[in-house]
Each structure stands twice: as structure tokens, then as C-alpha cells.
């Protein structure tokens, strides 16, 4: 991956440490993570609970600050950007899909999709909007409110909202965590097709090997570090690594306790 030039990198984390709390209550969530996420690719970040995968995504997306190290999206260094800068970055260059509570209940599907554009005061690209709507298959649901949509439909609206701004990166945090398998497949299917057909960059955090199998590349996190990765994964290969990771971590846990698990300033 270091072979990729800067042009090909949508987001990068360099020696990123993230520490919560201090003293006795100190928790180290990320320990010197280095990762580059390729432009136009669908990357999944995987790992067991507490591995730091969500923290890594939050840091990459500018939702959380890092304790040490650097994050960049495109050419922009996130470290040192104030709230206004981060807000603008999120608004203009990043898209989000969350596990739940993804939509504003008082807005229609169309209004929810166009929300980031409205906030930015930008006019939607009519053709692209239609493309996105077609892709997510919501053309006949646009004037519905979230309460009138099924879970899967709501999540597709959320996807459309993330895609409609043509962001540099879409961050998806367990996007299928609340969905049944059929809805999951639909959502993941067009996330992948938006990458392959429109060149969208997507970074997805998941703990579901089946979901990770839709990605081009899977990065495995364990105990705050990148422990493995996989290109062109299948559910089986992902599952294998996950199983291996579990045993590996159990072994490591003993070693780490004695070595560099100490506090990071």
C-alpha cells in the first residue's frame, strides 16, 4: 500500500495514538496506527469489540481528535483544524452512514438526502441525484417520512444522503448492524456498486465478515493496532483471519501487559 502515491490516497493515518482518560482510568484505544485508504476503493475496517476500529474511523472522519499522530483527508491535515474547519470538512468532503438514528424524523426522505447540500447551501446536481435515487431504489419513497419507511429503506436513504454530495470519502459505521440479511445485502450491494461504477471511496467499520466480504480490502485491527489485512476478501477468508486474530490476541494480551501497554503521553 505504501506503493500508492498521494494521489491515490483518500485518507491517511500516520502513527495515530488515541488515549482516553488519564492515570488509573487510562484507556489506549489506538497505538500508532498507520493506514492509507485508497481512493476509489471500498475498504472495511474489522476487528473484535474494543479493538479500536470505531475510534479509528471517528478519527479518520474528523469526528474525534487524535492524541498523537496525523490524520489527513486528501491533502488536508485534520490535526489543528478547529470546529469550524472540521464542520466544513465534514459538510463538503465527507459522507456518513451510521448504524441507527440516521435520519431526521421531521424531514421527508428527499429532504433528508439533500440535507448536507442544503446546509452547505449548494444546489443538488439533478442528474447525480437521480442516479443516486435510482441506485438506492427509492424513487417512489421520496416524500415519505422516516417513520413511514422500513429499517432497510431508512438506511438506503442514509446511503443516498452520504453519496449525493459526491464526498471524497464516505465513512460507514456498522451500516448494516440493525438490518436483516436481505436489507443488508441490498445496502452493501449498492455501496459496492457506487465504488465500482462511480469511483466513490468508502470506508466501512463492521464486525460482520459477510459485510466485510463486499469490500475490496479489509484492514484488521486488534487492540489498537493494525494486525492484518486482506484484499478481495470473501466471508470465509475474513472469518479465518478473525478466528486467528482472536487466538493471537489472547496470546498477545499476556505479552502486551508486560511490555508497551504503559501510558502514552
Partner 1 sequence: MLRATLTSMLHRKLRLVLSGLAVVLGVMFVSGSLILTDTLSRSFDNLFAGVYADTDVQVHGEPKVAVDEFEGEQVPATMPADIVDRVADVPGVASAVGEVEADGARVIGSDGKVVTSFGPPRLGVNWGGQGGLIELRDGRGPSAPNEIAIDAALASNAGLSVGDQVGVLTLEPRQDFELVGTFGFTEDRDTIGGVQFVAFTDEVAQELMLGETGVWTAVDVKAAPGVSHEQLRDDLTAALGDGYQVRTGAELAEDASAGLRSGLAFFNNILLGFAGVALFVGIFLILNTFSIMVAQRTRELALTRAVGASRRQIVGSVLVEAVVIGLIAAGLGLAAGVGVGALLATLAGGFASLPTAGLAVPASAVISAFTVGVLVTVVAAGMPALRASRVPPVAAMQEAATPDRPLTRLSVAGTATLAAGGAMLALGLTGNAGGQELWAVLGGVLVCFVGAALLTPLIARPVVSLLGRLFSWSVPGKLGRLNSGRNPRRTAITAAALMVGVALVAGVGVILDSAKTSIGGLAEDAMDAELIISGEQTGPRPPSFDPDVLDRAAALPGVDTVAGLYGDQAEVDGQTGFVSAGTDLAAVRKMFGLTAESGTVDTLAPGQLVVDSRTAEDRGIAVGDRLPVQLSRGEPSTYQVVGVYEWLPIFGGFVLPPEATANFGIPQPDMGFVKLTEGTPADQVQPQVAALLADSPEVSVTDQNAFIEQQSSQLDSVLTMIQILLALAILIAVLGIINTLALSVLERTREIGLLRAVGLGRAATMRMITVEAVVIAVFGALLGVVVGSGLGAAVVGALGDEGITTLTLPWTQLATYLVLAGIVGVVAAVLPAIRAARTDVLTAIAYE
Which spans of this chain sit near partner 1 (rule: CB under 8 A)? 58, 63-64, 83-84, 87-88, 90-92, 96, 98-107, 115-116, 118-121, 147, 161, 173, 177
* Closer residue to partner 1 (CB): 85 or 189: 85
Cβ atoms of 235 and 215 closer than 8 Å: no
* Closer residue to partner 1 (CB): 64 or 168: 64
* Closer residue to partner 1 (CB): 35 or 89: 89
CB of 220 to partner 1, least distance (A): 21
* Closer residue to partner 1 (CB): 8 or 50: 50
- Say if residue 61 is exposed, middle or buried (CB neighbours under 10 Å; 0-12, 13-18, 19+): buried
Helix (H/G/I), strand (E/B), else coil: 167: coil
CB of 258 to partner 1, least distance (A): 32
Tell me how far apart the alpha carbons of residues 94 and 111 are, in angstroms, rounded to a whole number: 18
User: Residue 169: beta bridge partners?
Assistant: 94
CB of 96 to partner 1, least distance (A): 5
CB of 62 to partner 1, least distance (A): 9
* Closer residue to partner 1 (CB): 84 or 250: 84
Among residues 89, 78, 2, the alpha carbon closest in space to that of 37 is found at 2
CB of 142 to partner 1, least distance (A): 17
123 phi, psi to nearest 5 deg:
-85, 135
| Intra-chain end-to-end CA distance of the chain, in Å | 29
Amino acid at each position: 500500500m505504501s506503493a500508492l502515491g498521494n494521489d491515490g490516497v483518500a485518507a491517511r493515518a500516520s502513527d495515530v495514538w488515541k488515549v482516553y482518560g488519564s492515570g488509573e482510568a487510562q484507556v489506549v484505544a489506538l497505538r500508532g496506527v498507520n493506514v492509507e485508504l485508497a481512493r476509489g476503493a471500498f475498504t472495511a475496517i474489522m476487528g473484535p469489540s474494543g479493538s479500536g476500529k470505531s475510534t479509528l474511523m471517528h478519527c479518520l472522519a474528523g469526528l474525534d481528535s487524535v492524541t498523537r499522530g496525523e490524520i489527513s483527508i486528501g491533502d488536508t491535515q485534520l490535526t489543528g483544524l478547529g470546529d469550524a474547519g472540521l464542520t466544513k470538512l465534514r459538510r463538503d468532503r465527507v459522507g456518513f452512514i451510521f448504524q441507527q438514528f440516521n435520519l431526521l424524523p421531521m424531514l421527508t426522505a428527499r429532504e433528508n438526502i439533500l440535507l448536507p447540500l442544503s446546509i452547505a447551501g449548494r444546489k443538488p446536481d439533478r442528474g447525480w441525484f437521480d442516479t443516486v435515487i435510482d441506485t438506492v431504489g427509492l424513487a417512489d419513497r421520496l416524500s415519505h417520512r422516516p417513520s413511514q419507511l422500513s429499517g432497510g429503506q431508512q438506511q438506503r436513504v442514509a446511503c443516498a444522503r452520504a453519496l449525493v454530495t459526491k464526498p471524497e470519502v464516505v465513512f460507514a459505521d456498522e451500516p448494516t448492524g440493525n438490518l436483516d440479511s436481505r436489507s443488508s445485502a441490498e445496502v452493501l450491494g449498492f455501496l459496492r456498486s457506487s465504488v465500482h461504477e462511480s469511483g466513490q471511496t468508502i470506508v466501512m467499520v463492521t464486525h460482520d465478515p459477510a459485510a466485510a466480504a463486499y469490500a475490496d480490502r479489509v484492514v484488521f485491527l486488534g487492540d489498537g493496532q493494525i494486525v492484518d489485512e486482506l484484499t478481495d476478501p470473501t466471508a470465509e477468508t475474513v472469518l479465518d483471519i478473525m478466528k486467528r486474530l482472536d487466538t493471537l490476541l489472547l496470546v498477545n494480551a499476556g505479552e502486551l501487559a508486560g511490555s508497551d501497554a504503559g501510558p502514552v503521553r
